[in-house]
Structure 1
Amino acid sequence: MSIKVDMSLDCKGLACPMPIVKTKKAIEGLAPGHTIGSTSFIVDDSYLLSGDILFVDSIGRPDLAGKAEDWVSDLRNTLYTFYKELSQDLIVLPAHYSKISEMDERGIVSASLQDLFKENVGLNIADEVEFRKTVTENLPPQPNAYEEIRQTNMGKIHPSVEEEREMEIGPNRCAVHESL
């Protein structure tokens, strides 16, 4: 999805303070796979905000809505086609990290897309059937507050700031993990 300058976006139903948002700059949205509406953004032609699709040491999980078999192909397409066509110099800034070792000395979790294509096991499963099997057989337990987070993201419930913090506490369970 491309978002153009001065485009009006209808954000009703999302956890968004304003139902209509007017863009100031064009941005590119990419990346179904973690969920059908997953979006990644390229910022200033330098950074890839990968959301829950790509992490430093892993890849996103496609099963949170109970759709792993349906969405694993979207995940693979995003990772192996969309991302592969991007500048490999982009610095990936994921939404989460799993281990402190993923942080650099400044506390930043990032890596170049080129480095991730070399080192991230989830980006190096050439066979599509093997990718599907590896992803669907290595899913961690769902996040503790998954349903509440989902309802909040859709604007259906409105937790307090403290309740939001509580929902986010715990390990990153948005990724296909260690056994990859």
Structure 2
Amino acid sequence: ITHVLDTHLHADHISGGRAIAEQTKATYWLPPKDAEEVVFHYQPLEEGHNVTIGKTTIAIQPVYSPGHTIGSTSFIVDDQYLLSGDILFIDSIGRPDLAGMAEDWVGDLRETLYKRYKELSNDLIVLPAHFMVIDELNEDGSVGKKLGTLFAENHGLNIEDEAEFRHLVTDNLPPQPNAYQEIRETNMGKINP
């Protein structure tokens, strides 16, 4: 392990990224807009600065994609895959509320999904961080679909009215995790569980 990358500062679980990087002496990458309060060393994961891994050269192109958090960053890997983190899923879209900023970040989420992602190749295979229902799995057990297919089939990518989009995203948010602030502070390195 030579590089560890987090798509954003997590608020729903303690990331193992920093611990893995420390144990393996790997470079730990984190989006700087999510890392303003971290108290440890990290490499800023910024659009325009590709990450190259190994002798076979796996090219990771960061794509700034705010909406889940202010610093959310997706990865285009070898011009084939879009690792969308918690912004876009197979049958749904991300939630922007884990820092209590849903009303402020819903516009960023729409901008990412409806403008930034629209500029990307429809042939990219979207690999989200997780899935909601078993129906989202492919026959081989993988979770992924072409971006163009998601623009055609994912309801969250097909809401023309911005007010309707805002209501869809903010009106029915599930409760935040009980310890989300402590989780965020742990991922910032401010507290240790």
TM-score range, shorter chain: 0.7 to 0.9
Q: Which deviations, in whole Å up to 9, do the C-alpha atoms of 1:25-50 show, x marking residues without a partner?
A: 56233200000011101000000000
C-alpha distance in 2 between matches for 1:99 and 1:60: 15
Change (3 A) 1:90 1:32: same
What is the 5 A alignment of 1:92-171? 92-159=126-193
Which residue number corresponds to residue 85 of structure 2? 51
Which residue number corresponds to residue 98 of structure 2? 64
C-alpha distance in 1 between matches for 2:66 and 2:42: 23
TM-score computed with the length of structure 2 as normaliser: 0.69
- Structure 2 counterpart of 1:33, from 46, 56, 67: 67
Deviation of 1:155 (Å): 2.2
Aligned length: 146
Q: Quick one: which amino acid aligns to residue 152 of structure 1?
A: T
Q: Which blocks of at least 5 consecutive residues in structure 2 are unaligned?
A: 1-14, 28-40, 45-50, 53-58
Which residue number corresponds to residue 5 of structure 1? none
TM-score computed with the length of structure 1 as normaliser: 0.73
Q: Which blocks of at least 5 consecutive residues in structure 1 are unaligned?
A: 1-13, 160-180
Which residue number corresponds to residue 119 of structure 2? 85
C-alpha distance in 2 between matches for 1:152 and 1:142: 16
Preserved contact between residue 60 and residue 78 of structure 2 (Cα < 8 Å):
no
C-alpha distance in 2 between matches for 1:104 and 1:143: 29
Q: Which deviations, in whole Å up to 9, do the C-alpha atoms of 1:131-179 show, x marking residues without a partner?
A: 11111112122235433432232223344xxxxxxxxxxxxxxxxxxxx
Q: Which deviations, in whole Å up to 9, do the C-alpha atoms of 1:72-101 show, x marking residues without a partner?
A: 000000000000110011000001111122
Greater alpha carbon shift after TM alignment, 122-131 vs 136-145? 136-145
RMSD: 2.1
Q: Quick one: which amino acid aligns to residue 118 of structure 2?
A: K
Deviation of 1:63 (Å): 1.1
C-alpha distance in 2 between matches for 1:104 and 1:148: 36
Q: Quick one: which amino acid aligns to residue 27 of structure 1?
A: Q
- Classify the secondary structure of the residue corresponding to 1:87: coil
Deviating beyond 4 angstroms after TM superposition, the runs of 4 or more aligned structure 1 residues are 20-23
